[in-house]
Amino acid sequence: MTTDAWITLGVVLLTIVLLARDFTAPAAVVFGAVVALLVAGVIEPAEAFSGFSNAAPITVAALYVVAAGIERTGVLNRIVDFVLGSGGGERRTLTRLLVPTATASAFLNNTPIVAMMVPPVSRWSQRMGRSVSRYLMPLSYAAMVGGMVTLIGTSTNVVVSGLLEASGFEPMGFFEIAKLGLPVAVGGVALMVLVAPVTLPTRRPARQDIEDVREFVVEMRVDRGGALDSLSVADADLRHLAGVFLVQLERAGETIAPVAPSTVLRGGDRLRFVGNAREVADVHDRAGLTPEAQEHAVAIPSGQHAFFEAVIGDASPLVGASLKGIGFRDRYQAAVLAIHRAGQRVEGKLGEVRLRTGDTLLVLAAPAFQDRWHGTTDFLLVSRFGGPEPARAQKIVPATTIAVAVVVAAGSGLLPILEASLLGAIAMVVFGVLSPNEARTAVDLDVIVVIAAAFGLGAAITGTGLAERLANGLVGGAEGLGSAAVVLAVSLATLALTEAITNNAAAVLMFPVAIAAAADVGADPRAFALVVALMASASFLTPIGYQTNTMVWGPGGYRFGDYARLGAPLTILTLVVVAVLAPIYWVI
């Protein structure tokens, strides 16, 4: 290989390692890799930044806005309650949940679909006395397989379409990927309905800890002239009590929550602690505090404050930081009551825990917390519980009309997907479904930068001849076994990559290799491109390979290994469909 090819290989391998280890935000990693290749002279500026002028990232950004408009109306809350109704058998319930989810995900980006569905499904499960872990993982997978049916079902499909166009081919047709995706979607939903009740365990959701914690509320009074009178909360050492959390301070009829470390205590203040009953002795033994006359279970007023689940995504500034180090209370005006990781509550001093992708924070904050941080990179999902979430029901008709118009215009060929999605995004603002600020925050800039920057990586892989060398390695081991084996080799390579890094980055890195592999065997390059698009969205084995899996990790109470229980059969199904149908459709 040439020197440039070796440099590119080194940069690509380092990029994969950094993405897999969540070293920092994916956008920073991928953009940094492109800059490194540019500085090394491997690619020219026009190649490095070609993705920023490509239609793919702009289309994805516009589709985020359209999906956000639908989400803000709360229409899916109504649909979930109507569809699930009073329940029934578990397989029947799964059918009623997964079929509409997969169908909707074919026409709306699947990440916002899951974000919209998690809260109402969680509330329904709680109301019916069922474990939400039986439904949230199938919900995520249904959205993923539904997204495989159309061009706009997932951002990965849009990215591959942009790559095809940048390589001189026709962009992907609206239903073109359905040749492979529809059998996977139909078969996948049927398979989940059949095996999910058997394979998925009953887990304790993250929010259930708050319900238990609220059963044990201790009220203490600050003694006048006592040891704590005139001390701040931090100086009084009330910030890091084992298993007990100071959530409210009442003074002269005024409630202060969350209680800042700098808050100065005064004699007569009433302090309210929540925690495990086994740990309340830690509060009782504090000098300067006297128990109130009664100790009993009380509810924290929900009119002024609310509880939230906030799931940390890989692009969050919280990843790798501690609550104390990042100044969580001051930054978010909220208090973290618990941290859930891999289906279990993290013990110890919460302020010192280094946060990870997928951690679920159980937060006490003002009701505006959700509106303020929803749709930002700080949290992948913000879900309020303990009451209905506010929605803009009066905007259901215009929001739904706009979304349907985008799908019809793009699906019928009346408008290209770029123009249709941009008009839809603008219409959401013009008709008052979203404010300009809400439209801006609806766009996940990290995803957009990853998509745009990854085009530069793809250009380097192709231009240096690295793609051809990697393709030769793939094809060389499978060519003698027939065309299905070559397709399977590309599928497995894409699958392995998408489980380790983001699906969009995996698609961009594998695209040039797949096109080179098609050239080696004299096959239609479109077939291999569609296989890459499909397999990059088939991350069913881990909670970190796909955003929707990460979203439901904490709210469902899942452990890391739970995903393979249901994901392995779905992965096998997808590989079989691709290996059988791709050679038939495209005569590979």
What is the greatest pairwise CA distance in the chain?
A: 87
pLDDT of residue 484: 75
Q: How confident is the model at residue 302 (pLDDT cuts 50, 70, 90)?
A: very low
Give the domain range for residue 261.
215-291
pLDDT of residue 255: 81
pLDDT of residue 300: 44
What is residue 282's DSSP assignment?
H
Question: Which carries the bigger pLDDT value, residue 439 or residue 195?
Answer: 195
Q: How confident is the model at residue 299 (pLDDT cuts 50, 70, 90)?
A: very low
132-152 as b/e: b if 16+ CB within 10 A: bbbbbbbbbbbbbbbbbbbbb
Dist. CA 122–CA 210, nearest whole Å:
14
Q: How many CB atoms lie within 10 A of CB 103?
A: 14
152 assigned to some structural domain: no
User: Which CATH number fits the domain that encloses residue 263?
Assistant: 3.30.70.1450
Question: Which carries the bigger pLDDT value, residue 545 or residue 138?
Answer: 138
Dist. CA 467–CA 517, nearest whole Å:
9
User: Among 79-83, 270-274, 526-530, which range has the highest average pLDDT?
Assistant: 526-530
- Report if pTM > 0.85: no
Residue 210 pLDDT greater than 80, yes or no? no
Q: CA 137, 214, 274: angle at the middle one, nearest 5? A: 120
70 alpha-carbon distance from chain centroid: 18
269 assigned to some structural domain: yes
Residue 396 pLDDT greater than 70, yes or no? yes
**What is the count of structural domains for the chain?**
1
For the segment 203-221, the average pLDDT, to the nearest whole number, is 64
Dist. CA 451–CA 455, nearest whole Å:
7
Q: Among 107, 132, 127, 129, which Cα is nearest to 117's? A: 132
For the segment 476-498, the average pLDDT, to the nearest whole number, is 78
Q: CA 77, 80, 86: angle at the middle one, nearest 5? A: 125
DSSP lists the bridge partners of residue 250 as: 255, 270
Q: Among 504, 511, 524, which Cα is nearest to 466's? A: 511
Residue 366 pLDDT greater than 60, yes or no? yes
Element (H, E) at 244: strand 244-251
For the segment 88-112, the average pLDDT, to the nearest whole number, is 87
Counting runs of H as helices and runs of E as strands, what totals does the chain give?
A: 25, 10
Question: Which carries the bigger pLDDT value, residue 477 or residue 521?
Answer: 521
Residue type, 168: G
Q: Among 132, 128, 157, 116, which Cα is nearest to 511's? A: 157
242-292: pLDDT as tens digits: 667 787 888 887 888 778 888 999 998 988 777 654 455 556 667 888 876
Lowest-confidence pick of 107-121, 288-302, 363-377: 288-302
Question: Which carries the bigger pLDDT value, residue 365 or residue 137?
Answer: 137
79 assigned to some structural domain: no
5-48: pLDDT as tens digits: 899 889 888 888 887 776 777 788 889 999 999 999 988 998 88
232 assigned to some structural domain: yes
238 assigned to some structural domain: yes
121 assigned to some structural domain: no
Q: Among 447, 565, 465, 562, which Cα is nearest to 507's? A: 447
Residue 96 pLDDT greater than 80, yes or no? yes
Lowest-confidence pick of 405-409, 419-423, 546-550: 546-550
Q: For residue 413, with 0-12 CB atoms within 10 Å meaning exposed, 13-18 middle and 19 or more buried, which class applies?
A: exposed
- CB-hemisphere CA count at 13 Å for 532? 30
pLDDT of residue 444: 76
Residues 6+ apart with CB under 8 A from 339: 345, 346, 350, 353, 355, 359, 360, 361, 362
For the segment 286-305, the average pLDDT, to the nearest whole number, is 57
Dist. CA 324–CA 352, nearest whole Å:
6
Dist. CA 148–CA 160, nearest whole Å:
12
Residue 404 pLDDT greater than 80, yes or no? yes
pLDDT of residue 285: 64
Residue 87 pLDDT greater than 80, yes or no? no
Question: Which carries the bigger pLDDT value, residue 150 or residue 205?
Answer: 150
Average pLDDT score over the chain = 82
Q: Among 465, 464, 448, which Cα is nearest to 40's? A: 464
For the segment 36-65, the average pLDDT, to the nearest whole number, is 87
Residue tagged 């904050």 (tokens): 365
pLDDT of residue 373: 81
